[in-house]
Amino acid sequence: MTKPIFPHDEQPAGDKPLFVPLKAEFYEAFERGIKTTEYRLHGPRWNARTCYPGRVAVLSYGYGKQRRMRCTVKRFTAQTCHNIRKQDQDSVVALYENLDAQLACIEFEGFEVSK
């Protein structure tokens, strides 16, 4: 388990929710409760400082405003594709074409579908 960058009482006040636009198939998997972890290439936007546990996130069906879910970052880890579940590896390789890429693995909890 990774140590949070910000201890619970020191998380940045007023951070905007983390906005996570998703392809239809991935949004619907979160919506059905099949998926709880999102994988992005690790970098300036997707890292331990921006995706810290406790941060509110908004998962969006694409960039539109019609289908969105609020949730909270439960856990963040950085790892290569070799270390994630086989079924997730296939999707990641299809997107990023590289098993050795450093991934931001963002696990969410507390899903609430926006009306």
What tens digit of pLDDT does each residue of 31-80 get? 999 999 999 999 999 999 999 999 999 999 999 999 999 999 999 999 99
69-98 average pLDDT score = 90
Measure CA of the first residue to CA of the last residue in the chain; give whole Å: 34
**CA separation for the pair 95, 109 (Å, rounded):** 24
Residue identified by tokens 């579940």 is 85
Fold type of domain 16-113:
2.30.130
Strand order in the sheet with 102-113: 18-22, 56-61, 68-80, 102-113, 37-41
Region 17-28: mean pLDDT is 97
pLDDT of residue 115: 66
> With 50 as the cut, is the pLDDT of residue 9 above it?
no
CB proximity list for 36: less than 8 A, separation 6 or greater = 30, 74, 107, 108, 109
